[in-house]
Structure 1
Amino acid sequence: MEILVASAIGLMTAVGIYLILRLRTFPVIVGLSMISYACNVFIFASGRIVAGLPPILSPDAAAYTDPMPQALVLTAIVISFGMTAVLVMMALGAFFEAGDDRIDLDDGGAK
């Protein structure tokens, strides 16, 4: 199971980096979301999530599930949603202004 989660995290990160390097705004936004999802899965997987165990240490429990990664992932989901909304609005504004979502890196001979 660990190899499946590690492979999924690696694949999401690779796809996110590939999409960020594209020259269009929509793939960049999707790539940032993919990297955000990969980080969330990584943090969530590091929290020793075990079904049936309490989220806090109690005297009668033999083990526990760490609640901190769950709280961090929940916070990261909210922040990434807000970040994605802002990026989509900026991309839409740029699209309406220029008529295209292509990122132009060549100024046409700027010195």
Structure 2
Amino acid sequence: MTAIVVATVVGALCAIGTYLLLQQDLVRVVWGLSLLSQAANVYLLAMGNVLPGGPNTVPVLAGHGEPPSGVTDPLVQALVLTAIVIGFGMTAFALFLSYRVYQEHGTLALAELAEAGDRR
């Protein structure tokens, strides 16, 4: 049941992110990119068995020297945490650049920005 919910969430995030990427507003494109990166993070967590009821019920220091069976690899969690921080920084920077584009051109419509670029 949990796998179906996670697959549905990842699919919904990908679908909404792709829909927003295809819009004609620059801010919606930025949010679509952000949603796609979050979908990738949820997917990585799901593939790393970090879900409730997964194999992460055994303490890491259960044995003396031998690796315990059924322990989640912490590398996946570290990579996703790093990806979340980088994604937040990327989204903030992209929104700042969108604001600067609006200050320079007075619009965020991609068609109008493309026409302005063709005129230069």
| Unaligned 5+ runs, structure 2 | none
In 1, Cα distance between the equivalents of 2:40 and 2:62? Answer: 26
Give the helix-richer structure, 1 or 2.
2
Task: Tell me, yes or no, if the aligned pair for 2:57 and 2:71 is still in contact at 8 Å.
Answer: no
Give unpaired runs (5+ residues) of structure 1. Answer: none
Distance across 1 between alignment mates of 2:38 and 2:107: 28
Q: Structure 1 vs Structure 2: percent identity of aligned residues?
A: 37
Equivalence map 1:1-111=2 (5 Å): 1-49=2-50, 50=54, 51-54=56-59, 58=63, 59=66, 61-104=68-111, 107=115
Task: State the Cα distance separating 1:56 from its structure 2 match.
Answer: 7.1
Tell me how large the CA RMSD over aligned residues is. Answer: 2.2
TM-score w.r.t. structure 1 length?
0.86
The TM-score with structure 2 as length reference comes to 0.80
Aligned residues, how many?
A: 109
